[in-house]
Amino acid sequence: MPIAIYPGTFDPVHYGHIDIATRAARIFERLIVAVYDRPLKNLLFSPQERVALMSEAMTDLPNVRVMGYSGLTVNFARQQAAQVIVRGLRVTYDFELEYQMALTNKKLAPDLETVCLVTSLEYAFLSSSIVKEVALAGGCIQAMAPPHVIVAIQEKLKKGARDSEAAQTRLTSRDWPT
């Protein structure tokens, strides 16, 4: 049975990701959830934090390992002796991106196959951005991400609020010298 990697940004992990990893872990002998360190996106969590949050989310899956990586996904897959790249598919927009990525990876590494698992209906709306946006606006994200991720997001938001308050105070005292 082939070894598979499930690469992504996971900023942070949510129930849609966990669903894909759980289902892939049933198909493949071993699954490596590969947390990409520096995508071209604004991130809330550091690579180490994203690996830690994902590791905690995967504790019930004995054949799953979580690792951080940088550089090309196909190179990481080869280093891990994986033959398959797993990705999740939600909407038609995902399909275009995944299709392009799968063909690019095929060009770079013809020996690797991409397997896309279609999202479960209840998670079709879910993305890391939605989780962060709802949390930032003070909405409930209990149905979207596990409790340890919710705690981590709340801590980040509190820290962000403290930092901007401190910056505001610095600005105000500079603008209005006493």
- Residue in 14, 87, 128, 132 annotated catalytic: 128
Q: Contact 49/148 with Cβ under 8 angstroms?
A: no
Closest to ligand ADP by CB, 2 vs 99, is 99
Interface pick for ligand ADP out of 4, 126, 141, 153 (rule CB under 6 A): 126
3-state DSSP assignment of residue 177 = coil
Task: Kindly state the tokens that stand for 165.
Answer: 């308050």
73 binds ligand ADP (CB under 6 A): no
- Residue in 41, 158, 159, 170 annotated catalytic: 41
Farthest-apart Cα atoms in the chain, separation: 72
12 binds ligand ADP (CB under 6 A): no
8 binds ligand ADP (CB under 6 A): yes
Q: Torsion-angle region of residue 138: left (phi > 0), alpha (psi -120 to 50) or beta? A: left
Active site annotation includes 156: no
105 binds ligand ADP (CB under 6 A): no
Query: At 29, phi and psi to the nearest 5?
Result: -65, -45
Q: Quick one: CA dihedral 142, 147, 150, 155, positive or negative?
A: positive
CB of 75 to ligand ADP, least distance (A): 16
CB of 151 to ligand ADP, least distance (A): 19
Amino acid identity, position 105: N
- The residues that touch ligand ADP, with contacts defined as CB under 6 A, are 8-10, 16-17, 20, 39, 87-88, 90, 94, 119, 123, 126-128
Active site residues per annotation: 17, 41, 90, 128
